[in-house]
Structure 1
């Protein structure tokens, strides 16, 4: 992995270096597919330039990929000099993957095509998941999405499951019994899902999966290193360094929910955590306390009467808490950018970004460089979308690290 202490620089164009050796055919094919995924349609000459492979090798590879149905030729493009070029692009019907988000407030299933476009979506909501109901539902939706592809069902390469490491965490906050909490915390959710389906299943922490979606299909195209924050029922995050997802020793890097908001009390009292101040759960509780529908936290009603005043009070608290988290992250990592997204309406996200920027401007930055703040592009479906990208990466990306995009 590249040295995280190297100075940040503007991301270069993708240059995944290939090999002309016969034994590296699969790697070279993946390299070409990754170039098309990042840059869009390209003629063979540009593919050769970007990958470092010879024109002859590119010709052989693209012929194989076209025969396998993974790429398609597009209409000829006439240039000012020379013969018209024929751009090549990923074939959307070349492969499919299923993404599953299991959250504390609902579950979501997405079917995406080879171009990472959502073809179908299903979602359910609940107060808290019941394992006896949810586990069969997960398998049923996987099979329904796969079988719905008809003759293309064989091109489904797997499912990616995105869920909190400890779904029963913070059970007192959620009003759950210890037995309910222990059931989920002791469960190997991925193993339970694998036992119910013949579809290969990958797993990632929910906000890590959301970070993957942003890295591959969002701000990651322009930003090389960034702290990622996802405001869901509970807030969480991820970490991207030099265009790689950095997961940490226990897969928990960017687990911002647990960040303490102040030093321990003088009598050993535990300080509040970010989860208590910058989560949509907190907005839910504020709305419910006013006799309003708590689920308005997740849709356009949040900024409309009679919800707006309560939402504004939450925004003031949440933006200050996020600013504290960003300053803390900057002191540790010195990242140039921060991306914030969440399971909320786009207007509410924009309001949160605006107030967080104002809060950041009021922080003490002595000894630090203030990072740039960006809104995420993946939106509320980021976790499920990132989950679906996991099997696509496993089958078609050129490297063993997660989503290498620059070399």
Structure 2
């Protein structure tokens, strides 16, 4: 039994025909894109932004109104001339689901057509097991269907899936059983989810999805080239270059967890930053929530909810301060290294942690950056991310919205950068 009904061609708001075909649909997507990026706009402003004629915009808007994709808002008064009625996206015109499989938690998020969250659910676990996690996904999707009802469920454009590229990595640190790691390695995650629903399923690396959420709706809208860092059970990241997500050859650009924090001794002795045994640690050992959890346990303290705003000042305050100092040093090293290689405009840091803890981590990282020499390289600005703990699921949900409604690959993200503009085709 399907968890969601497949969209029907007979349904007025069916999304199955939303592939780009011809100038007409391209221009429709251009207008939708402009409204998504800039907010509600009168038709004259839409024509200016898209460089379409006023007549073409009027025809397209009327068609989108009939299709239920946009809505007219109340007239804006106070300006000279005839009051204009801004055109806005209709939130219930379409929906998209984001599923983020984490190393300690599953998150499912429903976005409406305007990008606002309408429903969220999640399941915590000590260690992910394939069958249990996908059973939980099935249960969450069933709850989404019940929330929307049969009619609105037909407006779901698709499902985006975000997950680590390899669940088997760092198995010992995560205390994952060997058979569980092997099961994840054998599972095609996208296909497994696709077998559960007739809706199209898209996949992205979890931190790449989080970076997409930041690029589409957060701090990334004002930056062109930057490193995105997400502090979670394991730390990770992604890259944006010239306003576009950059995945690299294997889709794993921004794999910060693996970044070595020193040099191995070539002559067999300990190298710069290496331990007495000559081993060079990785960034995740200092700047991940798993590292904080280990420090708390070593101090005889129970693990705390890192989203708890009281954590930096509670009974674990001393341990948290020591973790912040270690994590900040590691993040500053990563930022400096990335800036030397990529000539970054900024570094955006976010994570599955409370805003108070994030603020203190950023302050310490800023101080650590002051200790580096910046001769010969431009120092990137440090920014707090805005997408927050939901970033991975939010970015996953953007995947089907983008696939169905963006004028071209990457365009709605690219146009979020100042100076970029989507241009329609006059006929």
Q: Same fold by TM (over 0.5)?
A: yes
Please, what is the CA RMSD of the aligned residues? 1.5
CA distance in 1, matches of 2:139, 2:105: 16
CA distance in 2, matches of 1:194, 1:80: 51
Please list, as runs of the form range in 1=range in 2, the aligned pairs for 1:270-289 lying within 5 A after superposition: 270-289=279-298
Whether 2:378 is the aligned partner of 1:377: answer: no
Please list, as runs of the form range in 1=range in 2, the aligned pairs for 1:11-50 lying within 5 A after superposition: 23-50=22-49
Cα 1:80–1:116 change in 2 (3 A) is: closer
Whether 2:207 is the aligned partner of 1:199: answer: no
Shift, 1:30, TM fit: 0.8
Partner of residue 242, structure 2:
242
Structure 2 counterpart SS, 1:297: coil
Structure 2 counterpart SS, 1:97: strand
Shift, 1:271, TM fit: 1.8
CA distance in 1, matches of 2:58, 2:79: 23
Partner of residue 142, structure 1:
141
Q: Deviations over 1:40-77 (max 9, x none)?
A: 00000110110111111111111111111111000111
The two structures have a TM-score, normalised by structure 1, of 0.92
Please list, as runs of the form range in 1=range in 2, the aligned pairs for 1:137-176 lying within 5 A after superposition: 137-150=136-149, 151-176=151-176
Partner of residue 186, structure 2:
186
Whether 2:332 is the aligned partner of 1:333: answer: no
CA distance in 1, matches of 2:155, 2:279: 51
Q: Deviations over 1:271-293 (max 9, x none)?
A: 21111111011001111222222
CA distance in 1, matches of 2:356, 2:120: 23
Q: Is the 2:127–2:175 contact (alpha carbons within 8 Å) kept by the matching residues of 1?
A: no
CA distance in 2, matches of 1:135, 1:301: 33
Shift, 1:198, TM fit: 2.0
Partner of residue 51, structure 1:
50
Partner of residue 351, structure 2:
342
Q: Deviations over 1:319-367 (max 9, x none)?
A: 0000000000000000111100000000000000000000001111121
Partner of residue 13, structure 1:
none
Q: Is the 1:139–1:197 contact (alpha carbons within 8 Å) kept by the matching residues of 2?
A: no
Cα 1:295–1:203 change in 2 (3 A) is: farther
Structure 1 counterpart SS, 2:237: strand
Partner of residue 260, structure 2:
260
Q: Is the 2:123–2:136 contact (alpha carbons within 8 Å) kept by the matching residues of 1?
A: no
Whether 2:209 is the aligned partner of 1:209: answer: yes
Cα 1:334–1:193 change in 2 (3 A) is: same
Shift, 1:154, TM fit: 1.1
Cα 1:388–1:211 change in 2 (3 A) is: same
CA distance in 1, matches of 2:343, 2:388: 26
Partner of residue 80, structure 1:
79
1:404 corresponds, among 411, 414, 418, to: 414
Partner of residue 371, structure 2:
362
Q: Is the 1:103–1:167 contact (alpha carbons within 8 Å) kept by the matching residues of 2?
A: no
CA distance in 2, matches of 1:213, 1:354: 23
CA distance in 2, matches of 1:44, 1:80: 15
Shift, 1:78, TM fit: 2.4
Partner of residue 101, structure 1:
100
CA distance in 2, matches of 1:80, 1:175: 64
Q: Deviations over 1:117-175 (max 9, x none)?
A: 11111111111112121112212212321342122111111111111000221112112
Partner of residue 110, structure 1:
109
Partner of residue 177, structure 2:
177
Structure 2 counterpart SS, 1:83: coil
Partner of residue 389, structure 1:
398
Q: Deviations over 1:10-43 (max 9, x none)?
A: xxxxxxxxxxxx9311111111111101100000
Structure 1 counterpart SS, 2:322: helix
Please list, as runs of the form range in 1=range in 2, the aligned pairs for 1:114-133 lying within 5 A after superposition: 114-133=113-132
